[in-house]
């Protein structure tokens, strides 16, 4: 033990440790530091490039210029040498544009963008008057023999310039080209989107109609659908997109948003000073609906929510909480299972925030007396993110919790759950049985779903039919039929399950056995030759039996179908970057019922806190598992109404490793800390 420092590390609950970021109020029980939540320079990770259909309002196929065109916007028709058609006036033929083919009868010979969308590049350039038919043919021949992109070849041949190609490519996709060179930005327009978003997505807003919520942006890449979607969803704008020169846009974005990314603090300051929002304070249920709508629609409120969401996703928060109290309004993130308090927004904006979130999730903002549930779908960093929104009216306003279902972020690999090898073997044997019920138990947030999905993913091949009934559907997996429970239209677990069994499945996942009906259907499915996966809320594996009996299931049906139960918990893993050995104090060991002599030769570790872990000392989580397998003797015990304690004792005799024991092994492996195991698992004597 000589290599081990003998000083006790500051316990992760040491109140003397400073929060990592300014403005962060430590959560009680205090956890050192703070996960990145409020660092002012935290980059937002919304970005570009995707292939989803662009569903942003009139961005595609812009209309010929109308008098309302923002200053600095040159219509494509002007760029390509055409005169803008005055509304209503007949379109004059344009000098210098030789249509490649005879114009359609009645078209008047003026190529407008509508006629360029989707055309071949050479044809568009020809219509723009930039290349002749001969030059185009020459380039085509060149391309045929040497390969390469046609536009590039035309540039190399000296027929067109880069700029011409950009315009033509934009036109091909139905976008107008906007020349940002020399464009002078209007601060009011710039403020329409958060700086982080502009910088991350290389978007420059060029006109903003606040009343109509219509925003025109110029972007570097016509494939930047995601950013446009986010603008629409997060800010609620109608977005018109134009294409511009990437380098010039980047330069202008950097220049105009040069003040370090707007921090949560800046926006909160803006909100505190916003007099129009102050009116809402203290008016409770009597708030005027129009005032509420306006507040929810106000730009600082949108920006705040936008920033909060992006930050939460970046920090891999699983839940975002907005909590109104009598004199304050709290905002908290749950990360790796622990709640962290963020810099609190001014209390008077609580109604504006909850209303904004309700608007985003299609809830009724006029309804402020009963709970509501909704969802928001977003694309962040090219990953689909699903937010489950729950609004609960409380004494002091609406409490809003958003659960983040980040579908892109989970590997769903059994080998990566943190199961020990012998547990993995046990679990694999269980999930490969032809029929029976396999249950994973644990409290909410203990990783049950991830475990079952990883099992499904492993079984997912062409020879096996897998169906799930879930609420909510948390991950999309190709090849698995997934059904969402929708009680409002009578799509209940029971109804879906009965229908599922007629779909000839091999494996059925029932999101949760929550009542007698679901339990009975699960049993029926198992008895008719299906393998059934489900979850239960119990503290340990042996309690699952009692829970099923409590639901009113006959003991003989439980024993006829239940194959095994896996109880699980998640513990935070020590950050590898700042992991250090230390000698725990005797009191700390006593919390695990260990004496000094029990741990002779063992090395304990903790995370000192570093930048990589935002000074928490932890990074990521892994599971602790407890497997109870049923054999004939155990089944007899169940039929004879054995108690949970008796079942637990019998299982342990058969080698069941309890959650606490699994936790001890994880500590001895140097994966987690004493605190985590004490917090997540029960003592053996309980
Ligand atoms: Zn660290």
Ligand 1 center to residue 79 CA distance, Å? 54
Expressed in angstroms and rounded, the spacing between residue 618 Cα and the centre of ligand 1 is: 6
424 C-alpha to center of ligand 1: Å? 29
Measured CA to CA, the distance from residue 400 to residue 390 in angstroms comes to 6
Q: How far is the CA of 317 from the centre of ligand 1 (A)?
A: 18
Helix, strand or coil, per DSSP, at residue 288:
coil
Note whether 398 and 392 are within 8 A (CB): yes
User: Rounded to the nearest whole angstrom, what is the distance from the C-alpha of residue 611 to the centroid of ligand 1?
Assistant: 6
Q: Are 566 and 439 in contact (CB under 8 A)?
A: yes
Separation of CA 612 and ligand 1 centre (Å): 5
> Which stretches of 537-658 are assigned E, i.e. beta strand?
562-574, 579-582, 604-607, 618-629
User: What is the DSSP secondary structure assignment for residue 70, as one 8-state letter?
Assistant: P
> Which residues lie below 8 Å from residue 91, measured CB to CB, with a gap of 6+?
85, 108, 109, 110, 112
* pLDDT score of 14: 41
Write the DSSP symbol of residue 612: G
Q: Which pLDDT does position 85 carry in this prediction? A: 36
Give phi and psi for 629, each to the nearest 5. Answer: -105, 145
Q: Taking the mean position of all CA atoms in its chain, how far away is CA 301?
A: 20
Q: What separation in Å is there between the alpha carbon of 622 and the centre of ligand 1?
A: 16
Question: What is the whole-number distance in angstroms between the Cα of residue 219 and the centre of ligand 1?
Answer: 38
Query: Taking the model in full, what pTM does it have?
Result: 0.59
Give the pLDDT confidence score for residue 278 in this predicted structure: 63
> What's the gap in Å between 285 CA and the centre of ligand 1?
46
Expressed in angstroms and rounded, the spacing between residue 580 Cα and the centre of ligand 1 is 10
The whole-angstrom separation of Cα 18 and Cα 358 is 36
**Residues with Cβ within 8 Å of residue 170, at least 6 apart in sequence:** 76, 176, 177, 222, 242, 243
Cα 17 to ligand 1 centre (Å) = 14
State the distance from the centre of ligand 1 to the C-alpha of 620, rounded, in angstroms.
11
Interval 476-524: pLDDT, tens = 788 889 898 887 788 888 888 888 888 899 999 999 998 999 999 999 9
Which two three-digit tokens encode residue 79?
């760029």
In this structure, are residues 671 and 574 in contact, taking their beta carbons and an 8 Å threshold? yes
Tens digit of each residue's pLDDT (9 = 90 or more) over 328-360 = 899 999 888 888 888 888 888 888 899 999 998
> Distance from the CA of 599 to the center of ligand 1, in angstroms?
25
Torsion of CA 232, 233, 237, 242, to 10 degrees: -10
pLDDT at 110: 32
DSSP characters over 298-339 = SHHHHHHHHHHHHHHHHTTEEEEEEEE-SS-EEEEEEETTEE
Structure tokens at 607: 């995370």
Please say whether the beta carbons of 81 and 129 come within 8 A. Answer: yes
The closest of 335, 395, 389 to 621, measured between CA atoms, is: 335
Q: Collapse the DSSP code of 106 into the 3-class scheme (helix H, G, I; strand E, B; otherwise coil) and give the result.
A: coil
Q: List the one residue out of 427, 359, 446 whose CA is nearest residue 398.
A: 359
Ligand 1 centroid–CA 606 distance in Å is: 10
pLDDT of residue 368: 86
Q: Calculate the CA 23 to chain-centre distance.
A: 25
- Give the containing element (helix H, strand E) for 508: strand 507-510
Beta strands in 414-479 (DSSP E): 436-441, 466-470
pLDDT, tens only, 257-277: 765 456 677 777 777 777 666
Within 10 angstroms of residue 28's Cβ, the number of other Cβ atoms is 10
Cβ–Cβ under 8 Å, residues 526 and 612: no
DSSP H stretches of helix in 528-582:
543-550, 555-561
| CA 14 to ligand 1 centroid distance, Å | 16
Q: How far is the CA of 667 from the centre of ligand 1 (A)?
A: 17
Q: 388 Cβ partners below 8 Å, 6+ apart? A: 373, 375, 402, 403, 405, 472
pLDDT of residue 42: 31
Residues 6+ apart with CB under 8 A from 606: 9, 12, 574, 579, 580, 582, 617, 673
Q: Ligand 1 mean position to 593 CA, how many Å? A: 28
Identify the segments of the chain with pLDDT beneath 70: 1-117, 222-223, 258-263, 275-287, 380-383, 406-410, 684-686
**Pairing status of strand 176-177 against strand 238-243:** parallel
479 CA distance to ligand 1 centroid (A)? 38
3-state helix, strand and coil shares in percent for the chain, rounded to the nearest 5: 35, 20, 45
Q: Are the CB atoms for 174 and 21 separated by under 8 Å? A: no
Q: Angle at which helices 299-314 and 264-273 pack, to 10 degrees?
A: 160
Which residues, 6 or more positions from 486, have their beta carbon under 8 angstroms from its beta carbon?
none
State how far the Cα of 348 lies from the Cα of 329, in Å rounded to an integer. Answer: 8
SS (H, E, C) 202-270: CEEEEEEECCCCEEEEEECCCCCHHHHHHHHHHHCCEEEEEECCHHHHHHHHHHHCCCCCCCHHHHHHH
3-state secondary structure of 198: helix
What gap in Å lies between CA 384 and CA 106, rounded to an integer? Answer: 45
Rounded to the nearest angstrom, the distance between the alpha carbon of 336 and the centre of ligand 1 is 14
Q: What is the spatial distance between Cα 272 and Cα 278, in angstroms, rounded to a whole number?
A: 8
pLDDT (0 to 100) of residue 427: 96
């Amino acid at each position: 033990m000589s290599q081990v420092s003998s000083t006790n590390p500051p316990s992760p609950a040491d109140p003397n440790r400073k929060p990592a970021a300014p403005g962060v109020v430590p959560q009680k029980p205090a956890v050192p530091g703070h996960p990145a939540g409020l660092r002012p320079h935290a980059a937002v990770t919304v970005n570009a490039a995707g292939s989803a259909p662009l569903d942003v309002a009139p961005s595609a196929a812009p209309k010929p210029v109308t008098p309302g065109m923002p200053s600095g916007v040159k219509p494509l028709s002007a760029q390509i040498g055409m005169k803008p058609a005055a509304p209503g006036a007949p379109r004059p033929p344009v000098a210098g544009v030789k249509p490649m083919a005879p114009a359609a009868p009645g078209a008047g010979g003026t190529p407008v963008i509508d006629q360029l969308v989707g055309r071949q590049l050479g044809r568009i350039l020809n219509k723009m008057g930039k290349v002749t038919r001969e030059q185009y043919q020459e380039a085509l021949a060149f391309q045929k023999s040497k390969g390469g992109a046609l536009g590039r070849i035309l540039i190399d041949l000296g027929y067109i310039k880069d700029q011409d190609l950009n315009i033509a490519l934009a036109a091909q996709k139905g976008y107008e080209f906007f020349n940002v060179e020399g464009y002078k930005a209007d601060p009011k327009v710039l403020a329409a989107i958060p700086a982080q978003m502009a910088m991350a997505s290389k978007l420059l807003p060029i006109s903003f109609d606040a009343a109509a919520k219509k925003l025109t942006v110029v972007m570097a890449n016509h494939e930047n659908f995601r950013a446009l979607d986010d603008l629409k969803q997060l800010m609620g704008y109608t977005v018109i997109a134009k294409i511009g020169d990437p380098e010039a846009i980047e330069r202008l974005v950097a220049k105009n948003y040069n003040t370090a990314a707007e921090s949560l603090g800046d926006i909160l300051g803006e909100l505190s000073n916003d007099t129009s929002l102050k009116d809402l304070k203290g008016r409770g249920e009597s708030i005027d609906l129009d005032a509420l709508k306006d507040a929810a629609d106000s730009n600082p409120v949108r920006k705040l929510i936008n920033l909060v969401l992006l930050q939460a996703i970046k920090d891999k928060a699983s839940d975002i909480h907005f909590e109104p109290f009598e004199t304050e309004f709290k905002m908290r993130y749950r990360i790796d299972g622990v709640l962290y308090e963020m810099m609190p927004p001014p209390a008077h904006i609580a109604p504006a925030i909850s209303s904004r979130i309700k608007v985003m999730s299609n809830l009724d903002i006029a309804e402020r007396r009963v709970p509501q549930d909704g969802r928001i779908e977003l694309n962040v960093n090219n990953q689909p993110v699903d937010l489950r929104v729950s609004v609960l009216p409380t004494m002091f306003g609406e409490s809003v919790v958003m659960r983040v279902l980040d579908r892109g972020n989970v590997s769903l690999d059994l080998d990566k759950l943190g199961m020990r090898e012998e547990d993995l073997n046990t679990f694999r044997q269980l999930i490969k049985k032809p029929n029976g019920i396999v249950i994973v138990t644990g409290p909410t947030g203990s990783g049950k779903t991830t475990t079952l999905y990883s099992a499904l993913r492993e079984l997912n091949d062409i020879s096996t039919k897998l169906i799930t009934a879930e609420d909510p559907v948390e991950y999309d997996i190709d090849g698995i039929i997934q059904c969402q429970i929708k009680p409002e239209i009578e799509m209940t677990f029971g109804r879906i399950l009965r229908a599922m069994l007629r779909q000839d499945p091999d494996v059925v996942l029932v999101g949760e056995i929550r009542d007698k009906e679901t339990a009975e259907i699960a049993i029926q499915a198992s008895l008719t030759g299906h393998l059934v996966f489900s979850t239960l809320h119990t503290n340990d594996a042996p309690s699952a039996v009692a829970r099923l009996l409590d639901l009113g299931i006959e003991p003989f049906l439980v024993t006829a179908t239940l194959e095994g139960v896996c109880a699980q918990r998640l513990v935070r893993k020590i950050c590898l970057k700042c992991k250090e050995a230390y000698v725990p104090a005797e009191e700390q060991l006593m919390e695990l019922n260990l004496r000094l002599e029990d741990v002779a030769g063992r090395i304990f570790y903790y995370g000192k806190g570093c930048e990589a872990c935002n000074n928490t000392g932890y990074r990521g989580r892994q599971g602790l598992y407890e497997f109870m397998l049923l054999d004939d003797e155990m089944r007899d015990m169940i039929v004879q109404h054995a108690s949970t304690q008796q079942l637990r004792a019998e299982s342990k005799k058969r080698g069941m490793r309890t959650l606490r024991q699994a936790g001890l092994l994880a500590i001895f492996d140097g994966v987690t800390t004493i605190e985590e195991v004490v917090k997540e698992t029960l003592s053996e004597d309980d």
